[in-house]
Structure 1
Amino acid sequence: MRDLYLDDPVRLRETDSSDMLGAIYGLPDQLPAALAYTRTQGVRLRTEGLLQIVITGLGGSAAGGDLLRGYAAAACKVPIFVNRQYELPAFVGPATCVIAVSYSGNTEETLAAYEEARARGAQTVVITGGGELLRLAERDSVPHVVVPTGLQPRAALGYLFVPALLMLADSGLIPEVDEELSETVEVLHRLRGLLAPDTPTAHNPAKQIACHLHGKIPVIHSTAGLTEAAAYRWKTQINENANSPAYAHVYPELNHNEIVGFDVPGAALELIRVITLRARDLHPRIGKRIEITTQELLGPCNGVEVRAEGESPLAQLFSLLYVGEYLSAYLGLSYGIDPTPVQKIEQLKRRLAEG
């Protein structure tokens, strides 16, 4: 049985040979560490004449940008965009701050976007663990934050998210975040005791959801704004840690299209399970939409609802995200898959390097 597999520490260690579960366990500790080294490196944004911020990166290095956009949208004095390609949007120029993020420092799309930002006269800032991006930042005297290395980029989310968050707060673009970060760490430490491998499936929500999704195709529903980034993160973590397809959509938009798609083909629908991520203080009409959709419209595809914990938006966001981190690894392990290797991504990089 899958729950017995997930509760067998010997088998878990053997399958998780690169210790992805250990990296996930360490996420709560990344936040205060990132707070300390970011403040030490003292990077701030120039806000005079600033009209927009573009965070450019790919994969795990872009995930922090998604979280920042969702978290800060309601309070930030300028709009935040996330760019995931070689080219930058046409509006990028001297009134734009481009934050280039690459954990390895060698992501070719991010390097191209960095060079384009410099050529267009945009204010440019770098967050990286090293590599070519750090070399370019030092060459160009571009402000930069160097983060700890040694993890898969997707497992370094705290290290990559907090520097950009603090840049906005310390530059006065959003309210100060120290109290919210403190609460977020407390919530994650509490959740860690519940979600970690030593907690058996009977008392571990992440293991329970992994068993529920085993042999199924997850579809993650959230709400536009704060939890949207968490849902997309669930999707990509399931893709990479469990080698499985997964999809994400948001309320209220999904009520105008996706809900009609749960009728046929029957054989495919039997494989789908919907997971609903829910923060506190929803617009009352969104809450009503979730209730009607999950109780009346999804039928056998309806799965479980995961509710955010904590008082602040940041704590709620990371509480949802943390369940997904563990869930994705447990789902991969339930298939006998080591959650760390991403062989197809590495194959693609090798083929691209051939020219």
Structure 2
Amino acid sequence: MYVDESALDDPTRLDSGGVAGLLPQVATAGPQVRHSAVLAAEAGFARLATDGRPRAILVVGVGGAALAADLIAALAGPAGPVPVLGHHTYGLPGWVGVADVVLAVSASGASAEALSAVEEAARRGARVAVVAPPDTPLAQMAALVAAPCVPLPGGRPASTVLWSLAVPLLIAGRALGVLRVADAALEAAAVRLESIATRCRASSESFVNPAKTLALELGGSLPLVWGTSAVTAVAARGAVDQLAAIARYPALAGGLPHPGHLQIGLLDGPFGARMGSGGAGPSTAGRGGGVTDDLEDFFRDRADDEETPPRLRLILLRDPGAEASEVTRQAEAVIAVAAERGVGVTELRAEGTDPLERLAALLGLFDFTAVYLALALGVDPSQTLSAHDLGR
């Protein structure tokens, strides 16, 4: 796999193709937070609380919209007064009824899964609210069942509209008494996202641009992205989604302690532990090999070499203020095990005082990272294969 580092600081390549069109869209995350909060208020999402606190909140969404459900569930936390659940298929679970709230989100407004869920929710008498572009089937369905609908601004790639989808859900959760999301927390998240957009702008060179640096660390590896709290576990899933959607790059997500029982075994597999003869063995430098040996190895013909698999790289998303002590100990142990196996480790710390701001800090970074990784790999992020294409 060839990773072209020079592409990340080449103005011509940064200003052309799919990357040039996507970077400005990614940079709108901060304004999306503010604008979506206003649209949710104007759409009357607060009316959902007229009949009191629901028995449960079901968030319906597929693809990138599914992360919005994870986001609101993480911020509600296990101590929340009612469960917040994601639903990513057709129809509704059998238990949903008049005591529940169904929130449907779709970047396209044409999701068959969301349409079927809203139709079924209305039939059962559940409270419903929708986030979708205007003049789309889902927006029309919302009007038909008299559900409040936040008009999602159109014309933007689905991979760049997370905050337009998620913020109305936060407003709904606050109105229903399920979430405590102050206006100050929304503003802090918006400011954090704007700060990331400035630090990760295309004109910022790789050695000072955190997104470009992270893209180069990921390139050529198989990333394991693990969170250490509920918030950073959502960020890990969002990071993996963006790497797949924008850079077409595979990665695995998890939230400690769970991966420590299962995915940890990967460190001893073919992508992890240094292999023997023919594997991704350690360099001879510093192990008795002389300068002549190193030069001969550098200039030798590699045409007949066996291709080695990509090496794992562990990306730990740390949340010091919210990590359980057991998880902190496990994270440190994982770092030590990775070092023993020769697996590279990158630690990223969630910055900010409020959980929403800390989540924004990590998600914003990976948005830019995915775009820069696509550029370094020669991938056009504007050419996207979706599930809708599979049936054609």
Report the equivalent of 1:60: 64
Structure 2's unaligned 5+ residue stretches are 280-307
Partner of 2:102: helix, strand, or coil?
strand
Task: Return the TM-score normalized by structure 2.
Answer: 0.84
Runs of 4+ aligned residues of structure 1 deviating over 4 Å after TM superposition are 266-270
1:83-134, CA deviations, whole angstroms, 9 ceiling, x for partnerless residues? 0101322221111111111121101111112222222222111111131011
TM-superposed CA distance for 1:350, in Å, is: 4.1
Structure 1 segment 1-355 matched on structure 2, within 5 A: 2-16=4-18, 19-44=21-46, 45-46=48-49, 47-48=51-52, 50-74=54-78, 76-130=80-134, 131-265=136-270, 266=275, 270-281=310-321, 282-297=323-338, 299-343=341-385, 345=386, 348-352=387-391
Given that 2:52 and 2:176 are in contact with CA atoms closer than 8 Å, whether structure 1 keeps it comes out as no
Task: Pick which of 241-250 and 12-21 moved more.
Answer: 12-21
Change (3 A) 1:18 1:59: farther
Question: Over alpha carbons, which structure has the higher Rg?
Answer: 2
TM-superposed CA distance for 1:179, in Å, is: 0.9
TM-superposed CA distance for 1:17, in Å, is: 5.3
Partner of 2:59: helix, strand, or coil?
strand
Letter in 2 for 1:136: M
1:275-308, CA deviations, whole angstroms, 9 ceiling, x for partnerless residues? 1111231222211111110122462233201111
Letter in 2 for 1:190: S
For this pair of structures, how many residues does the alignment match?
Answer: 350
Given that 1:273 and 1:302 are in contact with CA atoms closer than 8 Å, whether structure 2 keeps it comes out as yes
TM-superposed CA distance for 1:136, in Å, is: 1.1
User: Within 2, Cα distance between the matches of 1:21 and 1:91?
Assistant: 42
Change (3 A) 1:148 1:11: same
TM-superposed CA distance for 1:18, in Å, is: 6.0
Letter in 2 for 1:321: L
User: Within 2, Cα distance between the matches of 1:117 and 1:301?
Assistant: 48
User: Within 2, Cα distance between the matches of 1:244 and 1:12?
Assistant: 19
Task: Return the TM-score normalized by structure 1.
Answer: 0.93
Given that 1:24 and 1:326 are in contact with CA atoms closer than 8 Å, whether structure 2 keeps it comes out as yes
User: Within 1, Cα distance between the matches of 2:102 and 2:157?
Assistant: 24
Structure 1's unaligned 5+ residue stretches are none
Given that 1:75 and 1:175 are in contact with CA atoms closer than 8 Å, whether structure 2 keeps it comes out as no
TM-superposed CA distance for 1:10, in Å, is: 1.2
Report the equivalent of 2:304: none
User: Within 2, Cα distance between the matches of 1:199 and 1:288?
Assistant: 36
Partner of 1:109: helix, strand, or coil?
helix
User: Within 2, Cα distance between the matches of 1:245 and 1:150?
Assistant: 27
Aligned sequence identity (%)? 29
Task: Pick which of 80-89 and 276-285 moved more.
Answer: 276-285
Report the equivalent of 2:286: none
Change (3 A) 1:17 1:331: closer
TM-superposed CA distance for 1:48, in Å, is: 2.6
Letter in 2 for 1:166: I
TM-superposed CA distance for 1:74, in Å, is: 4.6
Given that 1:129 and 1:146 are in contact with CA atoms closer than 8 Å, whether structure 2 keeps it comes out as yes
